[in-house]
Amino acid sequence: MNSQDSKFNYKIILTALCAVVMGILIAFYYSNAQSNAQINFLEQEKHILIKDLTIMKADVDRLSALNEVNGIELQSSRYKVKQLSDSIGRLNFTVAKLREYKSELRRLESKIDSFKLKNNFLKYNNMLLTDKYEDTKKQIEDLRGKSSSLAEAEALQRKKIQELNQELKIKSYLKVDNSEGDGFRLRGSKPILTNKASVIEKLRGCVTIETNPSSINEEKVIYFQFLGPTMGVIEDNANTISVNGNVYSKRVELVLDGNPQMQICDFITLPEGSLLEGTYTLNVFEDERLLSSTEFVLK
């Protein structure tokens, strides 16, 4: 009986010891897990702190590089602070001097804040310049892509200009004997010659052309250009003719008939009362070449 009780008690003690050991192991495992979690958290915090310190160091280096221009003022400030420290050490300063130094320190702090603002402004401008540089770089690449086509177009244009110059060299122009201009007013539908500017409704240009008898049925185009006293081109029914940048009043087409001389006349129409007193000019052109010029006076 005692032996059975001893065995039973032994089992109870063994079970209790196992439970205690299991509890210790569980507590140790839980404590170890918490320690690992804290270690991991501290490692993460360490990495974050290292990263922040690196960024701060880079910012400090960048600010130092940007503020090299302010080194002289900073050295002067350090010298003045050193003087202030020496004065405090020797107790040879007055209350007024202390206030002056405090005011100067506040001014220096304001300057430093101003330097920081300028630095931020420079950083912003640098960002804008970077964006503009990228845009400009892209535009340059586009222009380089188009340069070959522009070079081909320029070469073609030069070739055409050479051809036109060659044509102008070999082209024969009309010979003009004389030209005249005058004004007309209308009575009903009948034009009456007059030199009174206020009543003129039509201007007439006439030109005598010397032709080659062999030039029969050859088509030609000449241009009348009426200029007013202010040298402005006078319009025909509010219209002008523009050829290669030159402005004319009238385009006149003619066919040579082989006669030695040929007189050509044509009118331009304008509102009554639109002309002023003065000297008027009639220029006669073939293409862009001036063949004849004459003046007439309206009163």
d(CA 8, CA 83) in angstroms, rounded, equals 91
DSSP 136-157: HHHHHHHHHHHHHHHHHHHHHH
In a domain, 153, yes or no: no
Mean pLDDT, range 105-113, rounded to an integer: 85
pLDDT at 5: 65
pTM exceeds 0.75, yes or no: no
In a domain, 17, yes or no: no
In a domain, 220, yes or no: yes
pLDDT band at 87, cuts 50/70/90? Answer: low
pLDDT at 122: 87
Mean pLDDT, range 135-147, rounded to an integer: 80
List pLDDT tens digits, range 1-13: 556 667 777 778 8
pLDDT at 94: 62
In a domain, 208, yes or no: yes
List pLDDT tens digits, range 159-208: 877 776 666 555 677 888 888 999 999 888 888 999 899 999 999 999 98
In a domain, 96, yes or no: no
Q: What is the mean pLDDT of the chain?
A: 81
Structure tokens at 133: 């540089």
One-letter amino acid of 177 = D
Lowest mean pLDDT among 75-84, 110-119, 222-231: 75-84
Q: Choose among 288, 192, 196: nearest CA to 242.
A: 288
Instruction: Count how many domains the chain has.
Output: 1
In a domain, 137, yes or no: no
Whole-angstrom CA distances from 263 to 92, 179, 217, 267 are: 114, 9, 16, 14
In a domain, 190, yes or no: yes
Mean pLDDT, range 43-48, rounded to an integer: 79
In a domain, 181, yes or no: yes
- The parent domain of residue 198 ranges over 175-298
φ, ψ for residue 189, nearest 5 deg: -110, 5
CATH number at residue 230: 2.60.40.10
List pLDDT tens digits, range 233-275: 999 988 888 888 889 999 998 888 777 788 889 999 999 888 9
Q: Tell me the percentage of the chain whose pLDDT exceeds 70.
A: 86
Query: Starting from the edge strand earliest in sequence, which strands make up the sheet with 202-210, in order?
Result: 190-194, 175-187, 202-210, 261-269
